[in-house]
Structure 1
Amino acid sequence: MNVQTKFHGEIELVAEEIYRFESGLPGFLEEKQFCLLTLDDTPFFVLQSTKTKEIAFIVTNPFDVFPDYEVKLTDEVLELLQIKTEQDVLTFVILTISDPFNETTANLQAPVIINGSKKSGKQYILTGTDYRTKHKLFEPPAEQGAK
């Protein structure tokens, strides 16, 4: 299937590269199919709608940036996505890209959970945590000569 993308132009996908989001994403409930594309030589990916070219989210693996990040999936989510083992799970967070780039934030409150083997996904809203929708991706550098 050929797909028009926001950042990669037209690409060809095979069925195994498409992830199904039965409930869509919050705010994009009609968008049910996405693909995950690499973004050059960066730790970032594009979660691209296969239906709407303009709907593309820059995402990253939160554990690479926030090593203490924790996501506890409910039994309902495990069942919905048919997750049997930890190896099935891919976790991403949606970034809000800022200018300057070092002001970019990550939505740690609502990670995107994907079952890589079943090709299903869901944006899962965490409750009862201190995670917010805008965590700075980059810590500001320590003040030089600060006392």
Structure 2
Amino acid sequence: MKVATKAYGIIEVDERQKITFPAGLFGFEGIRDYILLDAERQPFYWLQALEVEELAFILINPFLFRPDYEVEVDDGEFREIGLSDPKMALTFSIVTIPPEGPMTANLQGPLIINRESRLGKQAILTDTRWKTKHDIMEELASVKGTDAAKKAPC
């Protein structure tokens, strides 16, 4: 199918890239259908609204820079999108890139997507460790520093 996108103009996409958020996303409840696209720069993705060309979100896998990240939600939230096994979920965080200041990720409101049904939902986590603005580069550097420390010879 052909889709008008914010990042790439009109492109051809596979129907399997379509993700439906039955309740929409917070602040965009009326827009339910999106496509998931690889961004030109990894490790990012685009979540492009099908109905509104100008509406697209940059996403990142939060486990890349926060290996300790935990998505603790009620089992009912997984069932809402047909997930019986949380391991079948894709988890993304919405990225904000301001004109000035650090690039941040929202770890408090992750997007959870059922790989099989391609249904998704945005959860709200109550764990106080997870905020709406985590500095991606700072936390990525921290993780790399930890890995380097573990591999350093004694």
TM-score by length of 2: 0.84
1:130 aligns with 2:129: yes
Q: In the alignment, is the contact (CA less than 8 A) between 2:78 and 2:86 conserved in 1?
A: no
Per the alignment, residue 91 of structure 1 pairs with: 91
In 2, Cα distance between equivalents of 1:12 and 1:50: 12
Q: In the alignment, is the contact (CA less than 8 A) between 2:110 and 2:122 conserved in 1?
A: yes
Q: In the alignment, is the contact (CA less than 8 A) between 2:5 and 2:54 conserved in 1?
A: yes
Q: In the alignment, is the contact (CA less than 8 A) between 2:47 and 2:57 conserved in 1?
A: yes
Per the alignment, residue 5 of structure 1 pairs with: 5
Per the alignment, residue 17 of structure 2 pairs with: 17
**Coordinate RMSD, CA, aligned:** 1.9
1:53 aligns with 2:53: yes
Q: In the alignment, is the contact (CA less than 8 A) between 1:82 and 1:115 conserved in 2?
A: yes
Structure 1 residue runs of 5 or longer lacking an equivalent are 143-147
Q: In the alignment, is the contact (CA less than 8 A) between 1:24 and 1:32 conserved in 2?
A: yes
Per the alignment, residue 79 of structure 2 pairs with: 79
In 2, Cα distance between equivalents of 1:58 and 1:110: 14
TM-score by length of 1: 0.88
Q: In the alignment, is the contact (CA less than 8 A) between 1:20 and 1:121 conserved in 2?
A: yes
In 2, Cα distance between equivalents of 1:28 and 1:99: 23
**Structure with the higher helix share, 1 or 2:** 2
Following superposition, the deviation at residue 48 of structure 1 comes to 0.6
Per the alignment, residue 28 of structure 2 pairs with: 28
- Secondary structure of the 2:137 match is coil
More moved, 85-94 vs 109-118:
85-94
Following superposition, the deviation at residue 130 of structure 1 comes to 2.4
- Secondary structure of the 1:19 match is strand
Per the alignment, residue 148 of structure 2 pairs with: none
Structure 2 residue runs of 5 or longer lacking an equivalent are 143-154
